[in-house]
Structure 1
Amino acid sequence: MTQQLLLDILPGTLPSLDGFVAGPNQAALDAVRGLAPGHALYLWGGVGSGRSHLLRACVQAQGGHYLDARTPAHWLQGLATDEDRSLNLVAVDDVNDLNEAAQAALFALFNRWRATASTADAFALLTAGDRAPLTMPLREDLRTRLGWDLVFRIEQLSDEDRAQALRDRAQQRGLALPDDVLHWILIHHDRDMERLSSLIDRLDQYSLARHRPVTLPLLKELLADTH
């Protein structure tokens, strides 16, 4: 079996709530887990904080719609205005980057959420951005709506939390992760836990494909091959 074929058939890992390393963000994780129709939740934090992971994982767990700033605005507008379409969860990520049309659509979606919140047509609304609601570079009425219900800041994980999360990820895959490899990853790789977890998965796959144990030279070889 060739290396490429092995890498192609190994399963990917979808974002999950169980796979989110909470660290100081346990209250936010609990809020996402408990998000029910008729309630809204806004998460904010910097790049790599894990807010996008939480939105995708919530949609994965509950079903629903995930959109972000790259999604055409008319898709979001359709969710806001098509009353014949039943909704259970809508997650809108990177709201700080929404263009004017998408901001108008999200404003309309908030209005639909509020109007149906206490009815049989209620749905959950989960949004996320890179800063607190009232400091967002958005239209004023939309900034206000982002804070209508629960708001949580997603804090960056400590190095200790990240190290333990990577050890746990490796253990789940049956991968022996030497201390020097873990130390190098924490120093030289970015802090995004989703990317770090993906790196552990890729390292495991690469080790299997090459029939070699995980070592620092193997990690550097993997990174060189993927750049």
Structure 2
Amino acid sequence: MRQLILDLLPEAPPSLDNFVAGGNAETLSAVVAWLAPDNREPFFFLWGESGAGKTHLLRASAGQYSDASADPDLAKIHDAVCLHAVDNVEDLSEIGQIALFKLFNCLRGSGGRLLTSARQPPLQLSLREDLRTRLGSGLIYRLQTLSDDEKIDALTTQARARGLHLPPEALEYLLARAPRDMRSLCGFLAALDRYSLEHKRAITLPVLREVLQNPPN
């Protein structure tokens, strides 16, 4: 079912504008302020559960994005870039931890910036002590996972903006079967809008079931 949903998703690059903040408005504002040209704090650490939106914010913010889950050695990182984001730092290998520590020092000296993330706060990570210290040396904010009610409210608002009427039971059905991060949910909503326009059909619960079972090519 998850793959069927993902097959429907259009390309929707993450941005600060399309991040659904919910109860994370303060954290989003802090990221926006940190990205401002007059900011003098070089380091920012985000933590929170999977699906809270860390990857979305890191991808939306950085000149170079690296995911330690996919590249634990940080082999593709380039210190010439001024703004870096390193996601899932808890998955760094020993080599990757050394590379990130060196990047901290390099960016501090050059005036660059580094945005990092993990599922836990710095002091709870099983990493080198010197790296944990660096990770905890800047701004630290937690991202809270949106509640189901917040997700439904956000999806309802976006659906209305598109001229779609989605009955509550359809949204509950979608939440029970779709990837639960907001980027995927919003992407699927865009796919439903496209389907509705192409087939001239209102999105009801039976139609939603049909789309999930027989995704368009």
Q: TM-score, normalised by structure 2?
A: 0.84
Counterpart mapping for 1:11-26 below 5 A: 12-26=11-25
- For residues 106-150 of structure 1, give each alpha carbon's deviation from its aligned partner in whole angstroms, at most 9, with x where no partner exists: 11111112223xxxxx12211111111111122221111111110
Corresponding residue of 1:28: 27
Q: Which residue of 1 aligns with 2:145?
A: 156
Give the whole-Å Cα distance in 2 for the aligned partners of 1:12 and 1:172: 19
* Displacement after TM superposition at 1:196 (Å): 1.3
For residues 93-104 of structure 1, the aligned pairs below 5 Å read 93-104=87-98
| Cα contact 1:180–1:216 (8 A) shared by 2 | yes
Give RMSD over aligned pairs. Answer: 2.3
Q: Is the 8 A contact 2:10 2:190 kept in 1?
A: no
Offset at 1:47? 0.9
TM-score, normalising length: structure 1: 0.80
What secondary structure, in the 3-state scheme, does the structure 2 residue paired with 1:13 have? Answer: coil
Can you list the C-alpha shifts for 1:87-121, whole angstroms capped at 9, x where unaligned?
A: 331111111112222221111111112223xxxxx
Query: Contact 1:35/1:124 (CA < 8 Å) preserved in 2?
Result: no
2:206 to 188, 212, 217: 217
Deviation at 1:11, TM superposition (A): 6.2
Task: Find the aligned partners of 2:135 and 2:67 in 1 and give their Cα distance.
Answer: 15
Q: Out of 77, 88, 105, which is 2:82 matched to?
A: 88
Q: Hey, what's the Cα distance between the residues in 2 that align with 1:137 and 1:207?
A: 48
Structure 1 match to 2:4: none
Long gaps (5+) in structure 2: 1-6
Indicate conservation of the 8 Å contact 1:40/1:148, yes or no.
yes
**2 CA distance for matches of 1:55 and 1:67?**
9
Cα displacement string for residues 158-198 of structure 1 (whole angstroms, at most 9, x for unaligned residues): 22211111112223333222222112223444431122112
Match of 2:74 in 1: 73
| 1-structure distance, mates of 2:126, 2:189 | 36
1:129 corresponds to which of 115, 118, 121: 118
Moved more, 179-188 or 28-37: 179-188
Residue type of the partner of 1:106?
Answer: L
Paired letter, 2:34: L
Tell me if the contact between 2:52 and 2:181 (Cα under 8 Å) persists in the aligned partners: yes
User: Does the C-alpha gap of structure 1 residues 13 and 174 become closer, same or farther in structure 2, counting only changes over 3 Å?
Assistant: farther
Number of residue-to-residue matches in the alignment:
203
User: Which whole-Å CA distance do the structure 2 matches of 1:180 and 1:52 have between them?
Assistant: 29
In structure 2, the residue matched to 1:114 is: 108
| Structure 1: 5+ residue stretches without partners | 1-6, 80-84, 117-121
- Shift in CA distance, 225/105, structure 1 to aligned 2, threshold 3 Å: farther
What is the letter of the counterpart of residue 74 of structure 1? A
User: What letter is aligned with 2:196?
Assistant: S
CA contact (8 A) 1:66 1:92 kept: yes
